[in-house]
Amino acid sequence: MGIIEKMRLDGRSIFVTGGARGIGKSVATAFAEAGADLAIVDVDIEEAKKTAAELAEKNNVKTIAIKTDVTDPVQVDAMVKEVVDTYGKLDAAFCNAGICINVSAEEMTFEQWKKVIDINLTGVFLTAQAAGKQMLKQGKGSIINTASMSGHIVNVPQPQCAYNASKAGVIQLTKSMAVEWAKKGVRVNCISPGYIGTDLINSDENLKPLIEKWNAMAPMGRLGKPEELQAVCVYLAGDASSFTTGSDFVVDGAFTCF
């Protein structure tokens, strides 16, 4: 099989958490374009349904939308069951749902801290664990977690200690799962995006001063685009990455190089 064929995902079943918009939608689009059948998983079920319908129509693939709170293990297990009941298997999982709350460490409430950790770290654990259980039964599968360059550096000028801690945790969680499952056919990797110009970020007037500061610090002088994360995720989801596990792919335009 040639490299082009190895990058195809025809007949693969993949779920994407936080898949209704932003990075999740962009990567789900790439999976669909590569031929995968998808489950768009999000707390916003109406937007998830729109995204699922759009991808099915444009790419002639099967899609479903599932409302899931990734911090609830019962809902997560039910989501994976629905994916397997629908498609008969689970080939890859993009555990991507996340949030950020910018509050200084001394002013952050316990509730704010817990919300970020619950969604960004515990949510990734629960979805990756549930996916891993199914993949271990199958003897094969690929899990992709969304970490962040914030797991490597302390972002400035915004205060985001909970976010940084959660994303550093995702990187180590990824490596730990990868080692545990390496001989069992299940691969686990993560991506660490830099600042990505999603529609939500670009449309937020309050973020414009921050974006100007980020771009001034960035070697490439700009935000990344959601579609610039697509290729690495398609690579990780398919057979081309069969010897790749426990890796963290930093896609940040060299932001963390200094």
**Confidence (pLDDT) at 245:** 98
- Banded pLDDT at 239 (limits 50, 70, 90): very high
d(CA 27, CA 19): 8
**Confidence (pLDDT) at 32:** 98
**Confidence (pLDDT) at 152:** 98
Nearest to 158 by CA among 219, 204, 221: 204
Strand order in the sheet with 13-17: 63-67, 37-42, 13-17, 92-95, 141-146, 186-193, 248-251
Q: Which of 87, 163, 195, 235 is catalytic?
A: 163
**Confidence (pLDDT) at 203:** 78
Average pLDDT of the segment spanning 79-95: 98
Whole-number mean pLDDT of the chain? 97
Instruction: Decide if 167 is catalytic.
Output: yes
Average pLDDT of the segment spanning 96-121: 97
Instruction: Decide if 6 is catalytic.
Output: no
Which CA distances in Å does 139 have to 31, 150, 163, 229?
22, 33, 33, 27
- Banded pLDDT at 231 (limits 50, 70, 90): very high
Residues in contact with 230: Cβ distance below 8 Å, sequence separation at least 6, in sequence order: 26, 27, 29, 30
**Confidence (pLDDT) at 258:** 85
Q: Which of 26, 166, 167, 241 is catalytic?
A: 167
Instruction: Decide if 148 is catalytic.
Output: yes
Kindly report the CATH class assigned to 3-251: alpha beta
Strand positions, DSSP E, the chain: 13-17, 37-42, 63-67, 92-95, 141-146, 186-193, 248-251
* Long-range contacts formed by 232-235: CB under 8 A, 24+ apart: 232/191, 233/27, 233/30, 233/31, 233/94, 233/144, 233/191, 234/7, 234/9, 234/30, 234/31, 234/34, 235/7
Q: Are 32 and 61 in contact (CB under 8 A)?
A: yes
For 27-64, write each residue's pLDDT tens digit: 999 999 999 999 999 999 999 999 999 999 999 999 99
**Confidence (pLDDT) at 1:** 78
Name the least confident of 3-7, 48-52, 92-96: 3-7
Classify the phi-psi angles of 215: left when phi > 0, otherwise alpha if psi is within -120 to 50, otherwise beta.
Answer: alpha
**Which pTM does this prediction carry?**
0.97
- Banded pLDDT at 143 (limits 50, 70, 90): very high
Average pLDDT of the segment spanning 208-236: 96
**Confidence (pLDDT) at 254:** 98
Neighbours of 78 (CB within 10 A): 14
For 176-205, write each residue's pLDDT tens digit: 999 999 999 999 999 999 999 998 788 788
**Confidence (pLDDT) at 40:** 98
Query: Which of the 8 DSSP states describes residue 89?
Result: -
**Confidence (pLDDT) at 226:** 97
Nearest to 166 by CA among 105, 115, 132: 115
Q: Which of 13, 26, 142, 148 is catalytic?
A: 148
d(CA 158, CA 30): 31
